[in-house]
Structures are given as structure tokens and as C-alpha cells.
Amino acid sequence: MRYVSTRGGMPPARFGDILLEGLAPDGGLAMPQQWPQVSAADLEAWRGLRYADLAFEIVSRFVDDIAPDTLRAMLRSVYTEAVFGSADITPVSMLESGLHLLHLSNGPTLAFKDIAMQLLGALFEHALARDGRELNILGATSGDTGSAAEYAMRGRRGVRVFMLSPAGRMSPFQTAQMFSLTDANIFNFAVDGVFDDCQDMVKAVSADLAFKRRLAIGTVNSINWARLLAQVVYYFKAWLAVTTGPGQRVSFTVPSGNFGNVCAGHAARQMGLPIARLVVATNENDVLDEFFRTGRYRVRHGADVHQTSSPSMDISKASNFERFVFDLVGRDAARTAALWREVDAAGGFDLGGTADFARVDRDFGFVSGASTHADRLATIRRVYRDFGVIVDTHTADGLKVAQPWREPGVPMVCLETAKPAKFAATIREALGFEPPAPPGWEDLTARPLRFASIGTDVDALKARIATAAGVTLPA
Ligand SMILES: *Cc1c(COP(=O)(O)O)cnc(C)c1O
């Protein structure tokens, strides 16, 4: 298996070459040269597999530069009942006939990002040890991503994590979850500023190429191919859970922000998994819903991004969307590059009325819908009343948007992306009470916190990173 860039400017690369990278050198995103195919017989043979071994069957089709035994052992060490709370890792429950929840939030930080990030931790450790390298991951977070990264990298050899977050602006639960970590390779910085200040500091450090190279600064953002690959597995797991035989079709609804999660569903469908529809659910930040309804992709300006009660979907653009468009335009890299030049120059593009856009639903099964704060509250109430289940705000967006796309005979699987305890204030608004803390988290807000308060001075941040990494900077 080789990987190419969506913009055509990268020589075919192996998995190990793109693992630690962000954007391809030409500004595009890495994609497998072709989608490996899975037959109906393969699927039937996989029905009895445990999660880690199912993951091996899928991941090994994309990774041929890690020894199979090593890869299998790695997957078995990551996808354990101890880490994910159940032997199923991603269990499926039924709300009513034809409507299912795929539970992705049973990992260490109670959000679906754990599933990919935990594997990334193992892959990074393996690659760095093999090459005798170290990596200093620098990131900015307003909540879920930073937390998932820290829990995945804690205690791993060769990796340090430096995570900036806006002081006093994360939920008490998210703050305690991150700042209570005491591992020597995890560094939390509470920045006296807002999230954008944190992100600007990360950009400023990365823009200093000499420093970046000297300190081996890396990221773990959502465009990382390995994260997407890890997420393909649970679409197969869910299909196996709700079907009984070959060829049965299943639809999925995915609460979407950066298009990473639903892009993994697209990968599964391209590999031959019998998926009827992939329903993209957005909140008030409806960049993706607008595209899938009209063909117009329009990046929002910072001021036009709504702060919502499903904050992990508050995006101005969808960073993984280019991967789907590459497939949509028949893998024409020149065309994809031209479309993203339009994004840079004019803030977007319009495929409405084109032959390509006609394929979105017909050939790729994509449809969409958007949800509002009022919809979230109503859905949380309805699901609690009808099924006795408390869902978080992002999952509620999915359940709302899924409703009109349900078809007789085609199970609809909605992806549960976070635990409601992370968004307790909105649950209280909907139900009048806060959800109980999940098992193991009852004492969270009483744990001692370890973090450093810093200002927005970039040189001071660089000095702290260098000290922690044991590197002396030139004066
Ligand atoms: C990250 C996140 C999303 C959005 O996922 P994408 O892969 O960015 O589309 C949805 N829900 C929750 C809870 C998240 O943390």
C-alpha cells in the first residue's frame, strides 16, 4: 500500500512515512492509492472476531511496513476491556427497532477521539523507538482533543505532550481531566487568553522552522491519516453487530465537525461494507450541511462561527473534507488542487449542478442535516423520556438529523461521540438534573491539579519546551 496526496504533489509514500506528518508537502492530505476491497465472504468470516483482531484485518490492509505480528500485538495492547470498559470496545445498543447507538465514548477521556488517539500513541512509540527519535507534540485545545492526546501519550517513550488551553475556559470536568495527569511527559499550560491565543502561539512556534526541527515539534491533529484509519474499524464492528448475513445494508449518522469520523465511514463504504447512507449531522455551524444540500462549500469567517452547546462541532471549515472531494472528482488531483486554490482565494467553491455533485448521494450515499440548540434540548428530553437513555449534545444532533433518513429494513446506527457528563450544564437545561459521573470519575474534581500558568509570550513558551526536552537553545 502506498499513499498519495489529494493534490498530486507527493511521491507515493508508505504508511511509516506519513504517520508522523500533518499536511502532505504540497498542502494536500494523504490518501491510500486505492481502497483495499473486502468481500462479503471476508465480512462473514469476521463475525466472531474480537475488536483488536477485527482491527488487525482492516488496519493491516493499509499498513505493510510494520511486521504483522507486531501490528497485531499493538492492536491487542490498545483495544482492551481495561481501557475501553467492555470486551466489545464499541458496543451497539438498540433504542427501538431499526434505531441503534454505537457507543464510542467509553475510552479514557469519555469521547470518541480516544479510539483513534490510543492507537496513535502506540504507533508513535513504535516508530520513534525504531528510528531512535523523539517527538515533542505541541497543541492547543478547548477540550476533547487535547485531553484524548494526553491520555494516549502519557508514559509513552520518546514522546512529550505540551498542551495549551485557555485558562478558566474549559468545563470543570475537562480541566480536571487534563490537569490531574501527573506523568512526567505531559505538560499542561493554562494560557492567560482565549483559545485563539493558544492556537496562535502553536502556529508561531511551528513557524520558527529552526526551532521546529531542533525540537522535533509535531502535532496530532484531525488530518492525521492513522487517526482516520483507526476509526474505520468501528463501522465494520457496528455493521457486524446489527446484521445477520451478507449484503444487508445499514445506514450511519455521524455528528460531524472536521469530517474525520464520517470520512472513516466513507472509507469503509469504499472498501465494500454495505452502507446505504452516511448521514452528516452538523449543529448551527452548517458548513457541511450546506455542501451536501447545495454543492456549495463555503468556509466561515471566525466571527461567523457560532459557539454552541455541541462545541466539538464548532468549526469554520472541515479539514478532512478534501479527502472526500478527491474521491468525488474521480481522484483528479489537479482538479482537487484547483478547488482548494479557490478556497484560499475566494473562501470556497460551488459544485452545485455539476455531474460530480450528482454523485454525492447516488454513488457515495452522502446526505445531511443540521440541528440547533432547541433541537438538542428536545432530543435529549425525548430520548430520555422514550428510552430512559441520557445522550450528550453531539449525539443528540445526530439523533435529530437521522430521523428523516430512516428507511424500513435498513437499520440506522447513530454514533455516540461523547458521554453526557462532559456537557453537564446542557443536560441540566434539558432534563433538570446533571448526569451522574461515570464510574471511576466520581472523585475527579477533588484530584490535585498540575499545570503551569503562562502568558501569551511565545519565546517564554519555547524556553519552557526546550528546558523540558533537555535542549539548550542558542543564545
Ligand atoms: C471531535 C468531535 C466530533 C466531530 O468529529 P469530526 O471527526 O471532527 O467530524 C463530534 N463529537 C465529539 C464529541 C467530538 O469530540
User: Which one has a higher pLDDT value, 78 or 312?
Assistant: 78
Instruction: Name residues whose C-beta falls within 8 Å of residue 345's C-beta, 6 or more positions apart in sequence.
Output: none
How do residues 351-378 score in pLDDT, each as one tens digit? 999 999 999 999 999 999 999 999 999 9
> pLDDT tier at 441 (50, 70, 90 boundaries)?
confident
**C-beta of 105 in contact with ligand 1 (< 6 A):** no
Q: Which atom of ligand 1 approaches the CA of 319 most closely?
A: 8
Tell me the CA end-to-end span of the chain in Å, nearest whole number: 45
> pLDDT tier at 173 (50, 70, 90 boundaries)?
confident
- Kindly tell me if the per-residue pLDDT of 170 is higher than 90: no
Asked if 396 and 235 count as a contact pair (C-beta separation under 8 A), the reply is: no
pLDDT at site 206: 86
| Domain 3-83+111-224+447-469 CATH (choose: 3.30.70.380, 3.40.50.1100, 3.90.550.10, 2.40.50.250) | 3.40.50.1100
| Residue burial 13-42, b: 16+ Cβ < 10 Å; e: rest | bebbebbbbbbbeeebbbbbeebeebeeee
Which amino acid residue places its CA nearest to atom 1 of ligand 1? 312
pLDDT at site 31: 98
Instruction: Name residues whose C-beta falls within 8 Å of residue 81's C-beta, 6 or more positions apart in sequence.
Output: 87, 89
Residue ranges of domains in the chain: 3-83+111-224+447-469, 90-109+231-431
**C-beta of 418 in contact with ligand 1 (< 6 A):** yes
pLDDT at site 149: 95
- Ligand 1 midpoint to CA 257 (Å): 5
Question: Which sequence positions are flagged as catalytic?
Answer: 113
How do residues 15-56 score in pLDDT, each as one tens digit? 999 998 878 889 999 999 999 999 999 999 999 999 999 999
CATH class of this structure's domain 90-109+231-431: alpha beta
Which amino acid residue places its CA nearest to atom 2 of ligand 1? 312
Mean pLDDT calculated for residue range 64-77: 98
How do residues 213-256 score in pLDDT, each as one tens digit? 899 998 888 889 999 999 999 999 999 999 999 999 999 999 99
Asked if 212 and 180 count as a contact pair (C-beta separation under 8 A), the reply is: no
Angle separating helix axes 225-242 and 51-59, nearest 10 degrees: 130
How do residues 377-415 score in pLDDT, each as one tens digit? 999 999 999 999 999 999 999 999 999 999 999 999 999
Mean pLDDT calculated for residue range 465-473: 91
For strands 412-416 and 99-103, give the pairing: parallel
Same fold, 3-83+111-224+447-469 and 90-109+231-431: yes
